[in-house]
Structure formats: structure tokens, C-alpha cells
Structure 1
Amino acid sequence: MDLNRRKFLTYVGTGMTALTFASTGLSALAPKVAAADKGRESLFGYENRASKIDFKPIAPTTADELVLPTGYTYDVVAAYGDVINKKGDTFGFNCDFTMYLPIQGSQRGLLLVNHEYTNPLFVEGPVVGSYTAKQIESLLYNQGLSIIEVYHDPKTKEWKMDTNSKYARRISGLATFQLTGPAKGTASVNGATKVQGTFANCSGGATLWNTVLSCEENWETTASRAGLDTTHYGWVVEVDPFDKEDQYFKPRKHTALGRFHHENCAMGLSKDRRVVVYSGDDKAGACVYKYISKGKYNEAKGKENSKLLEDGTLYAADMEKGVWVALTIDAVIEAAKGNQALLNKFKTQADVLVNAHDAAILLGATPTDRPEDVEISPIDNSIFIAHTNNTSKGNFHGHITRFFETGADLGSLTFTYEIFAAGGTQSGFSAPDNLDFDRHGNLWTVTDISTSSLNKGTYEPFKNNGMFVIPTTGTEKGQAFQFASGPVEAELTGPWFTPNQKNLFLAVQHPGEQTKDINNPTSMWPHRKGDTMPRPSVVVIKGF
């Protein structure tokens, strides 16, 4: 199998490279790396040279199209309602996170896709009072996960979906999930050991043992409409896309990683080989978290390593002091002394995990401006965090923060940080959201300007939401170059490269979201013949 990001992070986390110069900055580090590895094409799959921008940046636009630089094209591989397998399962709504898992290198593989939420106008139909049983079923079915098989057709040069795949299936709000970790079976989750389904699936991440983590974000609306227990949602979900019917690796929710509005998960290894998982809580005034396992990763154990996500410590970042604060029941009880309401709320570690945000704030963690995607740099183990914005505090355009763990060790409990890039007209982007890295170490980000705010007021210069490339090394470090512009009222999400970096999967979420009359949509993207409505879709961008 091609060397991919998960394998690279394994190498970095175990100290197999000498990339421990986070405090010096990447501009100083890059020449040292190049000199040490001179003559080789790549460093664990990443080119060891300064950033490289291979395209002519585009200008902001309001076009109802996915606009790309000259020389790049895209194929739509799956859109809302498309049949994905022989059983007749259909692709869900509002696709978000994508992750490609190779079957035949970069030519064929599984694509896991998250589905974040629905729009009743396009999915459930008119709601009169409360939801009907049929509407609840549609609401839950069209969220969750789609697992599809995709391939590059050598004859047509197009990417297509293979609906005969033995792996293709849906894991939705109607599925059964196991709970793991400290909250399982406790009063904090009303005694549940199994729960119904997953929904509000935003972004996600890869594990070191080739499963996928999917993150439940804004679960409240769906849980309320469906009459479900809210404590069963807001967790990190783990699935194995290659387990055809979930026979051997049951879908699970890891309570040890805490319950909050998870945007994504980024996994790596500490220097002593403990699993570390970073995650942001996507709301204004929320915190940045990381989990460190008690046990150590053993590659030979394969998927048994999943148990490392059941026993460990959850931390939240105190950015003023530069420390990771352990969210433990003992610490919470000490901090809550004299406040009976809090003492009644927090009695066990399970209570701390179910109410992670409240515990973090109580213990002095820093409330921030909507921390969304968190990613670990493949170059130096620094942590990039997209803080989308916080309009109530006057931060309309957001910024990207970069944490430097002490000693470049993901297991460290101290760190420093910088503002790597700030949104605004001076940079050309606003409201950064999902992040990814290419082989040059460039940071790719998509933007999440609220649909109701697009092309208005302070957001007018940015036009439609887009995708940008920001070098992390060299003379252009921190500068943003626009690579894509989304259709009308859409948001671009979930960028993920194939192993050879020649194709980029990308989700186009909620085109035409402000439509009021289904017969007069504000967007008709992806403009497929026979479509009568806009359809959230996953595309493959070609031309790299």
C-alpha cells in the first residue's frame, strides 16, 4: 500500500525522524531537512523542499459552479440520492468529511463520507407541527456515513462509483452503536451500553490501525426532532469501512474522548508511543482538547489498538499558561467546592466526560473562537487549528492557530502557540474550517462563511466560500492562494488527497441552501441532466 498520512505520522510520533525543531520555525527547519535527506525524492512521502504553488490562483466569484484554476477539472462521483450498492442504499445529504482508503493504490479505493444534516425542503418534506415517523426515518437515514467504492476508469479518464462493491453501505442514524469507555452503562448516559445511530457527522480522521473516526457535532436539533436521548450523541465514532457488514468490528462511540461539538479528530503518537487525539469544539467560546491513551500503541495488534481509545486522559488547552489541563473528577470536585449545583452535576468521571465543555471551563481552559478542524503537521508535529470566527467578540474572519508542543512531543503537557494566519481582506480568506496538508507541507483550508452572510457586509469581498492553499515554509509562508470557489450558497468541506497526490476528493455541501421554493432553487449545482434540485455531492479534482 502507498505510504500515506497515517503511516507518516506513526514515523514522526515514534521519533524516527529528527524533526524536533518546532521552536525554530519551519523556515529554519526546511533547509536542515533537505540537507539531511539530499538526493531523495521524498521524506516519508513528503517532498523535502520549500513550499510549491503549482497553479494560478483564481479570483473570488459568485458563479453557481465549482470554479478551479486553469488546467484542473473535476468529476462528480456521488450526489445526494444516488444509489450506492446492490441493496439500493442511497447517498446521504450534506456531505462533509471525506477519506480515501486505497484498494489499488490511487486508482481504486473506498471513500468514507460524513453527512452532517438535512434540509426539510429537499429531504423530509413539509413539516406540519412535529415530525411524522416517516419523516424521522428520512431525517436519520440521510445523516451518518456513506461508504462507497470509487475508481479511476482508464478508458474515460473519469472517476466513478462502483455500485457493485461488496463494501458499499450506509451507517446512519438508524444503525446500532456500542458505547465504550468510562461513561458506558452509567447514569450519565441513562444506563446505555448500546445506542441508536450517528448523526450530525461533521469532520473526522484516520486511526493508526486503518479505521475511521467520525465526529458528531451539532446533534441537538436532530435528537430533539427524533425524540432521542441527547447524552447518546456528541461523541467520536469509530468504524471499519472494510468490515463488509460490521460483523467483526462493531461501530462504536468512544466516551473517553469526551462529549462536545466535535469538528474532527487528528491522531498521532507521543514519543513514548501513546495514542494522542486532538479535537476542536465547534462553537463560539469553546475549547481545544486532546486525549492521551494510558496504554501504548502496538502496530502488531492491528484493530485491537482501538481499546487505547477507551482508557486514557482527556485534556483541554489553557492557552494563557501554555498547559494542557486534565479533566478529572477529582480536579472538578476541588474546583467546584462551595457550589452545590456543580457538585450535584459532577459526581463521577462519566459526568465529566458527558459535560466536557463545562468541566473544561471550570478548570480554567481557554474559551476560543470556534475551534474547528485540528491537524498535525507532517513536517514538525506542530498542531494547526482553524478558529473559524466569533462574531460576538468582533472576530468576523477567524484565524489559524499553531501550537508547538514542548519538544515536538504530542504527549507533552505544555506548549506555546502563534497565530499562523489571520482571516480578512489582507489575506483573502475568511472563516477557515477544514484543514489538510499536501506533499509539500502546504496547508489547505476551506472556508465556512455562514450562508446567510455570504456576499454581504464585511464578507462581500470574499464572494462564495472557497478553498485556499497556505504554504507553511519558504518566502510565501502564511500567504493564502485561492484554489477553488464553491457554487451558490455552498460550503466546500473534507479535502483529502489520494496517496499519489494527483487527485483531491472534496465535498460540496448545501448548494442552494437559502432556497425557499423548491420549484425555484437558488442553485442548480452540480447541473446534472435530469436533476430538479441542487444536490450536495462529492467530487474528485484532477490535474495535479
Structure 2
Amino acid sequence: MNDKKQMSRRSFLAYVGSGTAALLAASSGLSIFGSKASAEERAEAIFTYPSDAIAASKGLIGPSNQDELLLPPGFTYDMLAAYGDPINAKGDTFGFNNSGISYHPAEGSSANGLLWVNHESADAFWVLGAKQNGHYSSAQIEKLLYAQGGSVLGVSRDAAGGWKMDAASPYARRITGLNAFELVGPARGAKAVHGASRIQGTFGNGFGGKTLWGTQLSAENHAVDTAREAGLPQTHYGWIIEADPADAGFQLRKHTALGRFQHGTIDMSLAKDNRVVVYMGDSAAYACIYKYISKGSFDPRKGKANSNLLTDGILYAADLIRGRWIEITVQAVRDALNDLRFSLPSALEYTREELLGLFREEADVYVYTSEAALILGATPTDRPKTVQTSPQEGLLFVTHTNNTAHGNLHGQISRLMEKNGDYGALEFSFETVATGGLQSGFSSPSSLIADHFGNLWISTDMGSSQLNQGAYAEFKNNGLFAVVSPLSTDRNIMQFASAPSEAALTGPCFTPDERTMFLAVQYPGANASETSHPASTWPAGSGSKLPRPAVVAISGFFSY
């Protein structure tokens, strides 16, 4: 590797780290970017690539349509697992279309731990094969259910800085559409879930997040098609599940108090009075932003018993116009529907009578959460898929991917600031931070995380059939972008990675020391019409010429 091209940890994190001061200054009405700002405070002066052309450019790399995962000079990636790879001694295999990722360190280690990986779908072309007489066989349905859910991988970094999967890890396993789950919370046993308390499986798993007590939450997103194909009840899916990567004996559960909808992401924080606050996005085209506040308080001494805090609390949806959180209750829904002056939201494909029949008991607002939110006046937006709290207290970022039906081709990033910086507040301010488009260099923001400096890392999700065409042509393939100083007028948006052909980059997450980023490559070659001519052959070095979704570990933020 050319040492002159390698970016040191100090120089790179100093560059993106300038966002902390800018973020705090912007929130207080001050600016560090005035005439007295020193060279160390100016991101462009700290960026230490030897090439002035790169330092002055809009991003670390430019848009690309190459069939490769491209990174800036000095950064490399190690392949951890691709679809079909054995992940343990038992012979379990890595699922399809890997999405959100969470790293669970072993005793705080940034070099050894467990990786939770979500699996969002099972492609009919690459995984299942053709239907027979319009139906999948029982073997195909089993494969459909097994390919989704989650994977637990043992991962470690060696002395040279390389990462690998440890198939000998005693924790490595699959959690799929075939496992048994407990329904917990207010919809357990309700008529709307067919009286069920114990149900089969999880699938359509998009993103997720870790709990304050160390377990994993995973969001069921596109679950409708799989449930229909498998002949399973629709209302058993679309929930937030909880598992423990480090404990196979932990009772798998679905938290009905967090609502059922097309879950995008989930992010957990604490209110100032120590109640647990859970923010949730919805990836549907006409969807709202949600949060849940527990009635009880978090107690770190109770460990995983804190999971019970997710069974008893209040679910809210955001009214962005009035800057308030609306409590979702069945009585409020019925009162609205019984008011003859009330006009049904246009997005609801029900009559007033049908809705009154749908909402009869309290459990119903948890099963039909998105309908209830719209009836109560929550603000629908264009696919508010991802929510992410910032290191700054009370600050939440939201990605709105796009909605071509509304003419919103490229989406936007918004910020929600809770009153008095308290995640438990019921009032907030809301505004757009950045809009997608040529002026920003990105289109269709999807995954979103914040580093400890407050900078944002955003992946894009232009549809595979739209890439390199029309309004999306100049963006080329999907990518990963760093947004430095997101709340400053001097913010800088830089492209950090470019995805292989027709793929999307999803679920970025860091090790605790932020020296390694884990990243999922999803949907490579998604639009192939025949296996002999795939649009992508990534990862070509995996021993197969066919495209396979995979998870990688990116190094290069500093020298080991």
C-alpha cells in the first residue's frame, strides 16, 4: 500500500470531527466558521491527502458505475460473509439480502465480538426458483423463510488489522422465519392477531439497533409478501423483535407496544427522568415518525430484565406541523371517526364504517398503527425510513428516502429537536437539513448513523431499475456519504463508497473505537433476467460468478 495515499486516523477523524464544534455552535446560533476560525477548525485545511485536487473536491471519491465496492485510497475491506456461506459448525448458512448491522463487542473489545446482520428478503430469481402452477413448493417456502431473519456471526481482527468471520464461535447461529417467537405487550392474544401469544418466525428484517441492556432489536419491514406466500397471518409480522446474540436461550419476542407497521429503523435513548425512549421510522411511501416512552425507568442493575420496559408504555406519532407528539389510543381514534366533520386522510383506503370496525379495542391501534396515526393527525412524509439520535442531547435525524408519486425524486434529511433537549418531551421543532439532488451530490438517503463527533454517515437507495438513468443518471451507483457538520452552513457532503452494479449499501455501523466500519452490500445484480448474464458478478473473488449479498469490514481510518 502506498503510505503517501493512506489517511491516518488522526487526519481523517480530525477532518470529520470538526463537525462536533460546528454542530454545537449551529444549535446555539454561533459559528466557528467566521474570519477568526483557525486552520484546525476548517475542515478543508485539515484534510491531509497530498493531492490538492482531492482535498478541494466535493467528495473522497466520485460517482461510479463500476461493478465493485469502491473506497477512497488507503481504505480496504475484508469480506466477512456472503449469501450461502457456512457460519458455524452446525452448517447454518448466511442469509440473503443482508441489511442492518449491529456490532456487539466482547467485553468492550473493538477487535473481537458478535455481529448481528438482518436479512430483508429472499429473491425469487437467485434463491427460490420459479413457481410451479403459480405456487411455491413446501421446500421453496422453507427456503424463503430460512433465507430471511437474522445472522449472528463471530468476528475478530488479527494483529495485522484484517477482519474475518469465526465459524467456530459458539454463538454463531441463524434466527429465521422458522423460529418460535412470543408476542408480548398489549396486542398479545388479541382478536386482531387471531388470539395468538406464540407465533412462527421473523422475516422482512431491514434495520435494527441495540438496546441499553445489550440485546438486539430488529425491524420487520417488507413482510407482507413472504407472509402471503407462506400462508401465515399478516398481523403476526411487521413488529420489532428482540433477541440476544450472546445468549441462544433468551426468549425470542415481538414487542407489540412498539406498534406494527413497515418498520424502517429503531433507535433507543433515555429521557432525562430515565424512562426508555424508542424512536422508529416507517419505510412506506406515505408514512409517519413514531416514538415510544416506557412508563417505568431504566435500571442498569436489572440487565436484560429491562426488556419488560418495552411492554408497558405510550406510543406516539409526530405531528410535524404543530411540533407535538400525538398519543395513539383507540378512544381517540374512535372519537375522530365518530365526528361527522372529520375528513378521512386520503392515504387511507377504508371507509369510515370499515375503520370503526377495525378499531374496537386498545390492541387494535398497535396492530394497525399507521392507520391510527393518520386518523389522529400525525404528519405523513416521503418514506421516513431511518431515525438516528445524535450525540447532542435531544437531537434526532431522519432520512426521507423519496416518493416519486409526490415528485420528491431525491429525498431529504431532516432534524427533530426535542424541547429542552429531552428525549422524553412531547414538543419539538422540525426542519429540513439537506435535500437530495445534484446540489448535494446524493439521491434517496436510506441508512443513517452518527459518529461520536456528530457527523452523519448516509447510504443511498435509488431503485436498482432507476440507476444510471434519467434523473438518477449523474449519481451513477448507490453510495455511502459522510456529512460533515450537518447543522452548519459550511457542512460538507463527501462520497465515501460506491456500491457494485444494481446494489445498495446498507446498515453501516462502527466498532466502539470507530476504527472499523461494518457495511452490508445488498441486491448486487438485482435485475438479472438470466443467470448466464448477471448484471453484477460481485463479489467475484468469492468462488462464484453469480452476485451474492455480503457483509464487509472496512479498515483504513488509521494504521494498526
TM-score by length of 1: 0.90
Distance, in Å, in 1 between the alignment partners of 2:166 and 2:100 is: 20
Distance, in Å, in 1 between the alignment partners of 2:268 and 2:402 is: 24
- The Cα of 1:285 is off from its aligned counterpart by 1.2
Percent identity between the aligned chains?
50
Query: What secondary structure does 2:527 align onto?
Result: coil
- The Cα of 1:50 is off from its aligned counterpart by 8.3
1:236 and 2:240 correspond: yes
- The Cα of 1:532 is off from its aligned counterpart by 2.9
State the match for 1:5 in structure 2: none
Match of 1:203 among 207, 214, 219: 207
Matches within 5 A, 1:330-369: 330-337=331-338, 339-369=352-382
Match of 1:159 among 153, 156, 163: 163
- The CA deviation string for residues 118-166 of structure 1, in whole angstroms up to 9 with x for no partner, is 11221112222101000000000000000010011225x4211111100
Query: What secondary structure does 2:541 align onto?
Result: coil
Does the 8 A contact of 2:282 with 2:386 survive in 1? no
Instruction: Say how many residue pairs are matched.
Output: 505
State the match for 1:450 in structure 2: 463
Matches within 5 A, 1:275-424: 275-337=276-338, 339-424=352-437
Does the 8 A contact of 1:264 with 1:374 survive in 2? yes
Judging changes above 3 Å, is the alpha-carbon distance between structure 1 residues 253 and 54 closer, same or farther for their aligned structure 2 residues? Answer: farther
- The CA deviation string for residues 473-516 of structure 1, in whole angstroms up to 9 with x for no partner, is 68664431100000000000000001111110000001000111
Does the 8 A contact of 2:480 with 2:505 survive in 1? yes
State the match for 2:143 in structure 1: 138
Does the 8 A contact of 2:274 with 2:297 survive in 1? yes
Judging changes above 3 Å, is the alpha-carbon distance between structure 1 residues 346 and 50 closer, same or farther for their aligned structure 2 residues? Answer: farther
State the match for 2:472 in structure 1: 459
Does the 8 A contact of 1:464 with 1:489 survive in 2? yes
- The CA deviation string for residues 19-68 of structure 1, in whole angstroms up to 9 with x for no partner, is 9x99973475797xxxxxxxxxxxxxxxx988776775100000000011
Distance, in Å, in 2 between the alignment partners of 1:429 and 1:68 is: 16
Does the 8 A contact of 1:401 with 1:418 survive in 2? yes
Query: What secondary structure does 2:414 align onto?
Result: strand
State the match for 2:519 in structure 1: 506
State the match for 2:346 in structure 1: none
State the match for 2:349 in structure 1: none
Distance, in Å, in 2 between the alignment partners of 1:414 and 1:332 is: 21
- The Cα of 1:69 is off from its aligned counterpart by 0.5
1:256 and 2:257 correspond: yes
1:58 and 2:71 correspond: no
Does the 8 A contact of 2:241 with 2:254 survive in 1? yes
Distance, in Å, in 2 between the alignment partners of 1:474 and 1:327 is: 31
State the match for 1:194 in structure 2: 198
Distance, in Å, in 2 between the alignment partners of 1:532 and 1:442 is: 37
Judging changes above 3 Å, is the alpha-carbon distance between structure 1 residues 514 and 26 closer, same or farther for their aligned structure 2 residues? Answer: same
Judging changes above 3 Å, is the alpha-carbon distance between structure 1 residues 273 and 524 closer, same or farther for their aligned structure 2 residues? Answer: same
Q: Which amino acid aligns with 1:183?
A: A
Judging changes above 3 Å, is the alpha-carbon distance between structure 1 residues 430 and 22 closer, same or farther for their aligned structure 2 residues? Answer: closer
Judging changes above 3 Å, is the alpha-carbon distance between structure 1 residues 267 and 83 closer, same or farther for their aligned structure 2 residues? Answer: same
Give every structure 1 segment of 4 or more consecutive aligned residues whose post-TM-superposition deviation is greater than 4 Å: 21-24, 27-31, 48-56, 473-477
Distance, in Å, in 1 between the alignment partners of 2:101 and 2:441 is: 25
- The CA deviation string for residues 203-260 of structure 1, in whole angstroms up to 9 with x for no partner, is 00111000111000011110111111000000001111000x2x2x201000000000
Judging changes above 3 Å, is the alpha-carbon distance between structure 1 residues 295 and 475 closer, same or farther for their aligned structure 2 residues? Answer: closer
Query: What secondary structure does 1:300 align onto?
Result: helix
State the match for 1:222 in structure 2: 226
Matches within 5 A, 1:72-111: 72-103=75-106, 105-111=109-115
Matches within 5 A, 1:449-488: 449-472=462-485, 477-488=490-501
Distance, in Å, in 2 between the alignment partners of 1:516 and 1:219 is: 24
- The Cα of 1:529 is off from its aligned counterpart by 4.8
State the match for 1:150 in structure 2: 155
State the match for 2:117 in structure 1: 113
- The Cα of 1:194 is off from its aligned counterpart by 0.7
Does the 8 A contact of 1:26 with 1:473 survive in 2? no
Q: Which amino acid aligns with 1:270?
A: A
Distance, in Å, in 2 between the alignment partners of 1:357 and 1:401 is: 20
1:433 and 2:446 correspond: yes
- The Cα of 1:519 is off from its aligned counterpart by 1.7
Matches within 5 A, 1:22-41: 25-26=26-27, 28=29
Does the 8 A contact of 1:470 with 1:477 survive in 2? no
Distance, in Å, in 2 between the alignment partners of 1:260 and 1:484 is: 31
1:491 and 2:491 correspond: no
State the match for 1:13 in structure 2: none
Does the 8 A contact of 1:179 with 1:253 survive in 2? yes
Does the 8 A contact of 2:118 with 2:150 survive in 1? yes
Does the 8 A contact of 1:95 with 1:536 survive in 2? yes
Distance, in Å, in 2 between the alignment partners of 1:529 and 1:145 is: 21
Does the 8 A contact of 2:101 with 2:118 survive in 1? yes
- The CA deviation string for residues 87-132 of structure 1, in whole angstroms up to 9 with x for no partner, is 0000000000111111161111100000000112211122221010
Judging changes above 3 Å, is the alpha-carbon distance between structure 1 residues 367 and 499 closer, same or farther for their aligned structure 2 residues? Answer: same
Distance, in Å, in 2 between the alignment partners of 1:283 and 1:49 is: 40
Q: Which amino acid aligns with 2:498?
A: S
Does the 8 A contact of 1:324 with 1:414 survive in 2? yes
- The Cα of 1:380 is off from its aligned counterpart by 3.3
Distance, in Å, in 1 between the alignment partners of 2:456 and 2:95 is: 28
Q: Which amino acid aligns with 1:194?
A: R
Does the 8 A contact of 1:115 with 1:201 survive in 2? yes
State the match for 2:271 in structure 1: 270
1:534 and 2:539 correspond: no
- The Cα of 1:439 is off from its aligned counterpart by 2.9
Q: What CA RMSD, in Å, does the superposition of the two structures yield over aligned residues?
A: 2.0
Query: What secondary structure does 1:407 align onto?
Result: helix
Judging changes above 3 Å, is the alpha-carbon distance between structure 1 residues 417 and 24 closer, same or farther for their aligned structure 2 residues? Answer: farther
